[in-house]
Amino acid sequence: MSSDARSGPSPASPSAVAARFTGRSVTGGRPLSGALTEVDLDDGRTVIVKTADAPGAARAEAAGLRWLAAAGTVRIPAVHGHDERSLVTDRVARGPASAEAAVRFGRDLAALHAAGAPAFGAAPPGGPEDAFIGLAPMRNATGNDWPSWYAEHRVLPYLRGAVDAGTVGAAEAADVERVCERLPELAGPAEPPARLHGDLWNGNVLWGADGHVRLIDPAAHGGHRETDLAMLRLFGCPYLDRVLAAYEETAPLAGGSAGRVGVHQLFPLLVHAVLFGRGYAEQALAAARAALRPEK
């Protein structure tokens, strides 16, 4: 938490925030975690109030949710309002994962990516340039060439952070730097900027009671669609094979995509190395070294 966050005014209670942004009276509520609270409204609905530590995080998340929802593809919880510290959204009624929902999710995710973005690194409309992925800062500076943009704005900043923290040694970092140098040949055919969720791990994929997946907690920006898919592979997902097969049927990936998974996983792995330490750094280094090996 920054010094500004510590010295700023205390956020209003989740109940007060929910009432302000929905215009309804509150009848009850339950904390779900340190940041999340369920709040019951007098019209029978329940909303989620998320309280952010970092100024601007709620604004960034609200802009991302609205941008993803505007594509009309994967379902996104409605945003009722936000300020610099708090975000109010619909609650997702949860249900079991199913093969049918996974197929629908794969197709919808392909359509979401196809909705596009103005540039690599483009922030959602109304979203800040200085945003977040989880608890880590993420800068939405734009570029037109994916390999150079990905190296400069998605890999090297977190590599430097991991080196500065002592999580990655300087000699080890050279392997990741070599991947960045070779990205023009490792990246595969050029593709237009896709509309990415940006933090697509299993915890942000909610299986709804109505048989539809909802996506939450995005770090949305314009990027390469294989980055979202690589992150989904990295942390697992129910019926992942069905999700990926349905995606490929809808929007086939360029040849050799399986060999590029590690390149796209460098970004989330290095973010996790900065946030959570050496175990993720070792995974990032292994992915970099695998990407540098010549194909047999």
pLDDT in tens, the chain (296 residues): 233 333 344 458 999 999 999 999 999 999 998 899 999 999 999 999 999 888 889 999 999 999 999 999 999 999 999 998 899 999 999 999 999 999 999 999 999 999 999 999 999 999 999 999 988 999 999 999 999 999 999 999 999 999 999 999 999 999 999 999 999 999 999 999 999 999 999 999 999 999 999 999 999 999 999 999 999 999 889 999 999 999 999 999 999 999 999 999 999 999 999 999 999 999 999 999 999 885 53
Instruction: Determine contact, residues 203/172, Cβ cutoff 8 Å.
Output: no
Nearest to 220 by CA among 17, 60, 22: 60
Backbone φ and ψ for 16, nearest 5 degrees, come out as -65, -40
Catalytically active residues, by annotation: 199
Work out the mean pLDDT of the chain and round it to a whole number: 93
Sort residue 198 into left (φ over 0), alpha (ψ -120 to 50) or beta: left
Question: CA–CA separation, 272 vs 18, rounded Å?
Answer: 32
**Which domains are present in the chain?**
1-91 (3.30.200.20), 92-296 (3.90.1200.10)
pTM for the complete prediction?
0.92
Nearest to 176 by CA among 112, 111, 258, 262: 262
Question: CA–CA separation, 56 vs 255, rounded Å?
Answer: 39
Q: In this predicted model, what pLDDT tens digit does every residue of 126-156 receive, in sequence order?
A: 999 999 998 899 999 999 999 999 999 999 9
